[in-house]
Structure 1
Amino acid sequence: MDQVVQEEVKKATEKYGSENVYVILGSPDEDSAEIFAETVTAGDPTYAGPLAGVALGLPVYHILEDEIKELIPEDVYQDQIGLMELSLNKDEIIDAMKSARASQIV
């Protein structure tokens, strides 16, 4: 997650409140999904961007998760995401997202 995106997420959270901001990732693998999830929950792990040391605690999901898929019209999802769903390791990515959300529960 580059510094520009981090800044936009930070601004949106400041403007709307963390209870009103959800992050939906489209990362191609579980490792990048895990890092991006950590960035928007606990802060930038590289300490290089605007979210360095800033724990936003935002709920984070991946576009491949069923609860997100259900929110998108089927034809749009298939047109935009369908091929990605077939070619990526969906189960590992979803496990990484579930783990990221579980680590937020206090």
Structure 2
Amino acid sequence: QKRVKEFTEEFGADNIVILLGAAEGEAAGLAAETVTAGDPTFAGPLAGVQLGLRVYHICEPEVKDEVDSQVYEEQISMMEMVLDVDNIIEEMKSIRDQYCKF
């Protein structure tokens, strides 16, 4: 959290995109909420800090389409087969719709 906050201060929120790889929608959602609306646990450096960063999961079509297909196949596709990708996408979209400034 500290590094994300520092990078956002240094480069500006409009120049930062957070890419997640959590295995569950709920975990991805918690991480996404943290970098958009602030740490919901109020335990870290982003407690009460709303960065409003753009945040995506590696399995979302918007990201998947940007990654070299061979690299995606080698590094991610195996894991994607066991993930509930629809749930992850739904969770990520919900967070973006709710909190993102962009």
> What interval of TM-score do these two structures reach, taking the shorter chain for normalisation?
over 0.9
- Cα deviation per residue 1:21-80 (whole Å; 9 max; x = unaligned)? 011100100110110011000000111111011000001100000110111111101111
Match of 1:100 in 2: 95
Match of 2:83 in 1: 88
**Structure possessing the higher relative contact order (Cα contacts under 8 Å, 6 or more residues apart):** 2
| Whole-angstrom distance in 1 between the partners of 2:92 and 2:36 | 11
| Whole-angstrom distance in 2 between the partners of 1:36 and 1:76 | 24
Matching of residue 33 in structure 1 with residue 36 in structure 2: no
SS at match of 1:99: helix
Deviating above 6 A after TM superposition, structure 1's stretches of 4 or more consecutive aligned residues are none
Amino acid at match of 1:87: V
Give % identity.
Answer: 50
Matching of residue 45 in structure 1 with residue 33 in structure 2: no
Match of 2:68 in 1: 73
Q: Which runs of 5+ in 2 are unaligned?
A: none
**How far apart are 1:104 and its partner, in Å?**
2.2
| Number of equivalences | 101
| Whole-angstrom distance in 2 between the partners of 1:20 and 1:40 | 14
Q: Which runs of 5+ in 1 are unaligned?
A: 1-5
| Whole-angstrom distance in 1 between the partners of 2:8 and 2:24 | 26
TM-score (norm 2): 0.95
**How far apart are 1:105 and its partner, in Å?**
5.6
| Whole-angstrom distance in 2 between the partners of 1:92 and 1:19 | 27
| Whole-angstrom distance in 1 between the partners of 2:100 and 2:70 | 35
